[in-house]
Amino acid sequence: MTESIHKYFQIGTIQWMSHPPNSYELLDSVKTIACDEFFDALEISKIADDGTREKVKNMLEQAHMRVCYGAQPRLLGPGLNPNDIAEEERKKAETTLIEAVDEAEYLGAKGIAFLAGKWQEETKDQAYIQLIKTTRNVCDYAASKSMMVELEIFDFDMDKAALIGPAPYAAQFAADMRKTNNNFGLLVDLSHFPTTYETSKFVIQTLRPYITHFHIGNAVVKKGCEAYGDQHPRFGFQNSANDIKELTDFFTVLKQEGFLCADKPYVLSFEVKPWGEEDCDLILANTKRVINRAWALAE
């Protein structure tokens, strides 16, 4: 495509993936990314310290960036499950998501993203009902602040083993949610397509009415290989599923399905992290090169 990708998308990155805490201090990370004009958006998560949170808020305001809030670490870290069959455990997940809405609002985000919890085949239908309950309650609360709630789709049998799940099941869930809450949407991630055994065309066409946010990245889905599962290695990683060809196809499908909206651009963030001793900033540069090349080749 000849026009800049920034005309049609607000390009972002997931802060805690691009700069893992063991490699980058949070304030240094936010400033480094916010000073890079390639980025229009930044996705951040829970900040425990009030003073640090205020500093991050001020930096993002000064940088004039779109702020997004990922509540996934709030669930994954302590092992909370928004579709837990045990009601008290489900409520714990709901509580942290409600808290996430408040923190996101303070930081300037217009919504939060989260993921479904693990499930078991024999209680899958009950888990679905529990997830609907949690999501509706969080959406109702977010609506009082004019904010969105987005569910990110993960694998169902490879790594995260989340309830939602392959694209058709995600479409069913989104349709049920939209019956009561118009501030609900789906976040789709190119790096998860190989882990759900689906293609860009299938996922985007299946979920077309419900998608509100995009991630891109890579995955290794060959068993026994390094970084197997939902590990978000860099593009070009050995034995991995996505590279320039797959991202080009993804961009082409987005254009065909009408997602290139200059007047109201979607956020498109990359979720790529260094593996082992790899350098964070080299991986960021790698991803920008892949995006630029794939966008130039997309038709």
Tokens encoding 90? 């489900």
- Structure confidence by residue, pLDDT tens digits, 106-135: 999 999 999 999 999 999 999 999 999 999
pLDDT of residue 38: 98
Tens-of-pLDDT digits for all 299 residues of the chain? 999 999 999 999 999 999 999 989 999 999 999 999 999 999 999 999 999 999 999 999 999 999 999 999 999 999 999 999 999 999 999 999 999 999 999 999 999 999 999 999 999 999 999 999 999 999 999 999 999 999 999 999 999 999 999 999 999 999 999 999 999 999 999 999 999 999 999 999 999 999 999 999 999 999 999 999 999 999 999 999 999 999 999 999 999 999 999 999 999 999 999 999 999 999 999 999 999 999 999 98
Cβ-in-10-Å burial (0-12, 13-18, 19+) of 200 comes to buried
pLDDT of residue 223: 95
According to DSSP, the residues that pair with 84 across neighbouring strands are: none
Q: For residue range 186-201, what is the model confidence (pLDDT) as tens digits?
A: 999 999 999 999 999 9
Question: In this predicted structure, what is the pLDDT of residue 236?
Answer: 97
Q: Tell me what pLDDT residue 125 has.
A: 97
Q: How far apart are CA 187 and CA 131, in angstroms?
A: 16
pLDDT at 182: 98
How much is the pLDDT for 248?
98
If you ran DSSP here, which 8-state letter would residue 162 be given? B
Q: Residues 279, 290, 237, CA angle at the centre, nearest 5°?
A: 55
**Which residues sit opposite 44 in a β-bridge?**
69
Residues 44 and 107 sit within 8 Å (Cβ to Cβ): yes
Q: What are the chain's domains?
A: 5-297 (3.20.20.150)
pLDDT at 274: 97
